[in-house]
Structure 1
Amino acid sequence: MADFSRIVTAMGWPLAIILAWLAGELLHRWTRLPRISMYGLVGFLMAQVMPDSFASGASSTVTLLANLAFGLILFEFGYRINLHWLRINPWIAVSGLAESAATFGVVYLISHLTQMPPLTSLLLASLAMSTSPAGVLRVINETDSAGQVTERVLHLVAINCVLALFVFKVVVGFWVFQTSGSLPQAVSHSLIELGGAALLGGLLGWLVPALLRQLGALARDGTLAFAMGVMLLVLLAHALDVSPVLATLTFGLAARHSRVMLSRTERNFGAIGELLAVLLFVFAASALEWERVLAGAALGAVLVLARFLVKAGMVMLFARAGGITWRKGLLTGVALAPMSVFVTLLLEQTRYVGIVLVDELAALAAMTLLLEVLGPVLTQRALIWARETPEEEEA
């Protein structure tokens, strides 16, 4: 019996990945809804049924693979960001700053009114600013969407994620200072950490294309080289205690501006990238506990609605100034719904400094689960309603 129990425990992750993939394929075939919504739901349910199988520490192999999967997505995401476009149309950046700031303010106010401690309210507000690049990019690639709304969503996600990461690290720095009384320790886990991550990603984003040019292997070996670069960067980021999120995002951004072209067939880094993506979305939901989700359900639902309305409303407000219709502005804001993967991995990374913030944020657990399932659906619907996806193939 003990051997059987160990076998079942060991089979938890492989079984969850297989079931999530099958469920995602069936859901997509029957309803055309995003596969990743089912990945997260299966991961959450499996973790409740087999909790021992899904217990993973910050240094576990599964956590490392999830961070690698997120790094690959962030590299591809950063590669699609065009800084020149932001210079041509600064209203996109303005709308990103405005919706992020408004989201932060509204979520903080609601949290504060519910008697939540100030630092906890600040952490919740900083995380609510973000949109998950993993969720958005996977939906965009799955629907093969292209157009004004698609491109604006990508750039707005990049803006609010960088802002959310910056504010989150600053708040965590104050948290560390408050608990440890060490100001150098607090600073080392905020601004210095972010600067080091950006420097590391930018350096690799220049070095890898330069090496490929020297070898004459840009077209043949580009995808493999960048995948290995992401793996190296994630490991270095963890070893040096800097943010792998900002490092891999900067890596992709620097690679694009080094004039390296990736072909259309290399989206998602092939079959291995697809497999790691399933693991990533299962991992993000498996970190949630039913008791905590239930405890924060009421406040979480209110915060999800407030976040959704603020983001959609603020982006729509700046739509005309940015050169699009109010309708497209509204749809762009709706597409910013996903949040879960970014939040889960960011919270996991705080464990390295001995802070377990998940226990403090029951409402965040409810928000994460809700947006893990509904967020990708809203993004997909927004892109379809914007008429930026190809017509459905006839059965």
Structure 2
Amino acid sequence: MTDLLVISDELAWPCAMLLAWLAGEFVHRWTNLPRISVYGLVGFLLAQAMPELLVPDGSSQVTLLANIAFGLILFEFGYRINLRWLRVNPWIAVSGLAESALTFGAVFLIANWQGMPPLTGLLLASLAMSSSPAGVLRVINEERSSGQVTERVLHLVAINCVLALFVFKVVVGFWVFQTSGSLTQAVSRSVIELLASAVLGAVAGMLVPALLRSLGTLSRDGTVAFAMVVVLLVSITQAADLSPVLATLTFGLTARHRRVTFTRTQRNFGAIGELLTVLLFVFAVSTLDWQRVVFGASLGLLLVLVRFATKTIAVAVFAHVAGIAWRKGALIGIALSPMSVFAILLLEQTRYMGIVLVDELAALAAMTLFMEVLGPIITQRALILARETAKEEG
């Protein structure tokens, strides 16, 4: 009997990934809905049915693989960001700051109105600022979307994620200070941690292209080298309690500006990248508990609607001065809906510090489930309405 339990435990995640992938393929072919929405829904249902097998702890190998999968996506995401574009048209950055600030303020006010403790409300507001790079990029790649709306969505996601990460780490730092009384420890968990993570990613982004050029194998070995360094960065940052999110994002951003070519055939890092993507989206919702989702459903739905409205309105208001029509600005704000993977992995990383915040944020659990399933669909529809998907172009 013990041997059977061990076998079932070892087979749980491979079987869950296979079921999620099959469901995603069938549903996508029948309905054209994004595969990742199906991955998340299947993963949540399986985790509720078999919590003893599929709910990982913070030190599990599945958690490490999920962070590696997210790191690969963040590298590719960072590679798509053009800082020169933001310098030429600073209104794009202004609209990103505006939608992030408006979302943060609105969510915090609602959390305070609901009687949440101030630090809990700040954490919820900081996470609500962010859009999920994994969800947005996956939909863009799946739809082969390109154009002004697509590129601006990518840049706004990068802006609000960096802002959300910074605010989240600062609030967690105050949380640590409040519980430990050590101001030095609080500071080291916020600003210093982020700076170290960014420097680590930037150094990797300069050294790897230089090494590949010196070997003369940039075009042949680039994808493998970048993937291996992403794995290394995730491992180092987890061991050193740094931010793998910022390190891998900065790595991709720096590699792009070192004039490294990353061809379309290398998108998603091939079959291994696709496999890890399935694991990532199944993992993201496996950490959610059904009772917590139900408990926070009403507030979570309210916050989802407020977040949707603030992002859409803020980007639409700045659309004209940023050089596009208000309708496209509204579609950009709508496309910023996904948030689940980014928020969940940030919360999971706080477990290494001995802080369990998921129990404090039932509304976030509900928001995460809603946007895991609905967010990619909303992004897909926004890109279709903008006529920037391959099918629309065809």
Matched, 1:18 2:13: no
Residue 2 of structure 1, CA deviation: 4.3
Q: Distance in 1 between matches of 2:5 and 2:231?
A: 33
In angstroms, what is the RMSD of aligned CA positions?
1.1
Equivalent positions of 1:150-161 (< 5 A) are 150-161=150-161
Alignment match, 2:199? 199
Give the Å deviation of 1:393.
Answer: 11
Q: SS where residue 56 of structure 1 aligns?
A: coil
Shift in Å at residue 5 of structure 1?
3.5
Whether the 8 Å CA contact 1:338–1:375 is kept in 2: the answer is: yes
Cα pair 2:316 2:328 within 8 Å, conserved: yes
SS of 2:391's partner is: coil
- Counterpart position of 2:106: 106
CA distance in 2, matches of 1:338, 1:209: 32
One-letter identity of the residue aligned with 1:287: T
Distance 1:8 1:51 in 2: 13
Paired amino acid for 1:323 = G
Residue 269 of structure 2 is matched in structure 1 by 269
1:42 alignment partner AA: V
Q: CA deviation at 1:312?
A: 0.5
Aligned residue in 2 for 1:337: 337
Q: Which amino acid aligns with 2:382?
A: A
Give the secondary-structure state (helix, strand or coil) at the position aligned to 2:389: coil
Asked if 1:142 corresponds to 2:137, the answer is no
Give matches, 1:345-384, under 5 Å: 345-384=345-384
Moved over 4 A (4+): none
Aligned residues, how many? Answer: 394
- Structure 1: distance between partners of 2:175 and 2:374: 31
Alignment gaps of 5+ in structure 1? none
CA distance in 1, matches of 2:214, 2:232: 20
Matches within 5 A, 1:67-216: 67-216=67-216
C-alpha separation in 2, matches of 1:2 and 1:116? 45
What is the CA–CA distance in structure 2 between the aligned matches of 1:2 and 1:352, rounded to whole Å?
30
- Matched residue SS, 1:11: helix
**C-alpha contact (below 8 Å) 1:9/1:50 kept by paired residues:** no
Distance (whole Å) between structure 1 residues aligned to residue 303 and residue 15 of structure 2? 33
**Cα distance in 2, alignment partners of residues 239 and 304 from structure 1:** 34
How far does the alpha carbon of each residue in 1:183-238 deviate from its partner, in whole angstroms, 9 at most, with x for none?
A: 11111110000000000000000000000000001111000010001011111111
Aligned counterparts of 2:256 and 2:235: Cα–Cα separation in 1: 22
Letter in 1 for 2:370: L
Asked if the contact 2:384–2:392 (Cα under 8 Å) also holds between the matched residues in 1, the reply is no
TM-aligned CA distance change 1:333 to 1:393, over 3 Å: closer
Give the whole-Å Cα distance in 2 for the aligned partners of 1:239 and 1:347. Answer: 16
Structure 2 equivalent of residue 287 of structure 1: 287
Given the alignment of the two structures, is residue 218 of structure 1 paired with residue 221 of structure 2, yes or no?
Answer: no
Q: Report what 2:300 is aligned to.
A: 300
Q: What is the Cα deviation at residue 308 of structure 1?
A: 0.3
Task: Letter of the 1:213 partner, please give it.
Answer: R
Distance 1:142 1:86 in 2: 26
Given that 1:77 and 1:133 are in contact with CA atoms closer than 8 Å, whether structure 2 keeps it comes out as yes
What code does the residue aligned with 1:389 have? T
| C-alpha deviation, 1:10, in angstroms | 2.5
Identity of aligned residues (%): 73
Structure 2 CA distance, aligned partners of 1:365 and 1:7?
Answer: 31
Q: Deviations over 1:100-136 (max 9, x none)?
A: 0000000000000000110000000000000000000
Q: Is the partner of 1:65 in helix, strand or coil?
A: helix
State the TM-score, normalizing by the size of structure 1.
0.98
User: Gapped runs of 5+ residues in structure 2?
Assistant: none
Q: Distance in 2 between matches of 1:392 and 1:131?
A: 25
Pairwise CA distance, 1:7: 2.8
- Deviation of 1:8 after TM superposition, in Å, equals 2.5
Query: CA offsets per residue over residues 143-177 of structure 1, 9 Å max, x none?
Result: 00000000000000000000000000000000000
**AA of the residue aligned to 2:190:** S
Are the equivalent residues in 2 in contact too, given 1:11–1:53 (CA < 8 A)? Answer: no
Provide the rounded CA distance (Å) in 2 between the counterparts of 1:226 and 1:259. 14
Deviation string 1:293-342 (CA, Å, 9 cap, x unpaired) is 00000000000000000001100000000000010000000000000000
Once residues 221 and 110 of structure 1 are traced to their aligned partners in structure 2, the CA distance between those partners, rounded to angstroms, is 50
**Farther-moved stretch of structure 1 (383-392 vs 43-52):** 383-392
d(CA) in 1 for partners of 2:392, 2:31:
12
Paired letter, 2:340: S
Cα distance, 1:6 vs. partner? 3.4
- In the TM superposition, 1:218-237 aligns within 5 A as 218-237=218-237
Offset at residue 11 of structure 1 (A): 1.8
For 2:89, the aligned partner's letter is N
Name the structure 1 match of 2:309: 309
- Confirm or deny: 8 A CA contact 2:387 2:393 kept in the other structure: no
Q: Output one character per residue of 1:35-83: Cα deviation in whole Å (capped at 9) or x when no partner.
A: 0000001110010000011232222100000000000000000000000
> Equivalents in 2 of 1:9, 1:347: separation in Å?
25
Q: Distance in 2 between matches of 1:222 and 1:5?
A: 42
CA offsets per residue over residues 73-99 of structure 1, 9 Å max, x none?
000000000000000000000000000
